[in-house]
Structure 1
Amino acid sequence: MAVRWEPYVWDAPHPADPHEVELLEQQWSVRFPSDYRRLVVAHQGMSPEPSAFDVGSGRDVFCVLLTVSIDEERDEYSLRYVYGILEPHVPAGIFPFALTPGGEFLCFDYRASPEHPAVVLVSVEMLVHSVAGSFSDFMASLYDA
């Protein structure tokens, strides 16, 4: 099923400069999956449809793709801001990319493989739950709620 993207943080699409993604990768010493890099450049701050995904024996919703671009009025949706919240509470190697409606965080987990991060959900209690083996697998698993 094809994913459609709807505005969320801004009223219209707000593409990122690919250089902003590269700077963040350098800052965090990671290399994001290529499909994520393309997606965040085109759709940062937007919501996917379909948006539901399975986690454990339950279901959750991918609410918004965090932003790479700096916008002080919408800082709470930025990757850097959310990383600052998570970093003291989760193991090293976990980096956010999206939020759920319940305030949970979809993240890349580089702990097992620096080249091929898994996707995990970090709960509001800062517990880490496995979601998918790759970003591609995660995106392909989204379904209508």
Structure 2
Amino acid sequence: MTEKITWILSHPPVSENEIQKVEEKLKVKLPSDYVTCVKINNGGTPQDKEILDFAEKEGAVFNRLLSYHPEKSTYILETYEDILDRLVPHVFPFASDPFGNFYCFDYRQNPSGNQPTIVYWDHEMTFIDPFYALIPVCSSFTELLSMLYSD
């Protein structure tokens, strides 16, 4: 998974307690492949592979993982709270693009599970229809990482 991607600009590593705090707040169990990656690459940016294609979006950008440290501007819980009024239930951001959009875990099909699908949340489309703003990307975090390529 992460061996194919070099991460840069990562924040200090994340502890199991920090991850559990987020899981408790969001009332979810985060996918193990994501947890393994974010523990080491917290807030990080892929160095060479930051582009992906999905649905009708070609050349989408994966900017960075959200941070698990409250003092960072990309803190995952603060980001979630900032956009909560525009999200549909059971959808949680975990990464961003550089344009104000987010990659999210989508637990709508299985709210108590730990294998959510990945959706792209388009912040401009959410004002038209919050459900239309969610574009399917893939079925897992590992698959998302495998989709990244260099420009």
> Is residue 2:50 matched to residue 1:44?
no
SS in 1 for 2:4: coil
Instruction: Please name the residue that 2:64 is paired with.
Output: 64
Using the alignment, how far apart are the partners of 2:6 and 2:13 within structure 1? 15
Counterpart AA for 2:25 = Q
How many residues align? The count is 138
Choose which of 4, 16, 19 in structure 2 pairs with 1:18: 16
Aligned to 2:140: 134
Instruction: Find 2:101's aligned residue among 99, 104, 122.
Output: 104
Question: Which of 9, 27, 44 does residue 29 from structure 1 map onto?
Answer: 27
Contiguous gaps of at least 5 residues in structure 2: 127-132
Identical pairs, percent: 28
Q: What code does the residue aligned with 1:36 have?
A: Y
Q: How many Å separate the matches in 2 of 1:139 and 1:92?
A: 25
When the two structures are superposed, what TM-score results if normalisation uses the length of structure 2? 0.85
Partners of 1:88 and 1:35 in 2: CA distance:
28
- RMSD (CA atoms): 1.5
In the other structure, the counterpart of 2:129 is: none
Aligned equivalent of 2:110, options 109, 113, 116:
113
Q: How far has the Cα of 1:53 moved from its partner?
A: 1.1
The separation in 1 between residues aligned to 2:110 and 2:148, in whole angstroms, is: 23
Counterparts of 2:53 and 2:145, CA distance in 1: 12
Q: Which of these residues, 57, 60, 82, is aligned with residue 85 of structure 1?
A: 82
Distance 1:24 1:141 in 2: 26
TM-score by length of 1: 0.89
d(CA) in 2 for partners of 1:66 and 1:137? 18
1:53 maps to 52
Residues in 1 aligned to 2:20 and 2:36: alpha-carbon distance in whole angstroms: 12
**Cα displacement (A) at 1:142:** 1.0
Q: Which amino acid aligns with 1:133?
A: S
1:40 to partner: Cα distance: 1.0
Per the TM alignment, residue 140 of structure 1 is displaced from its structure 2 partner at its CA by: 1.2
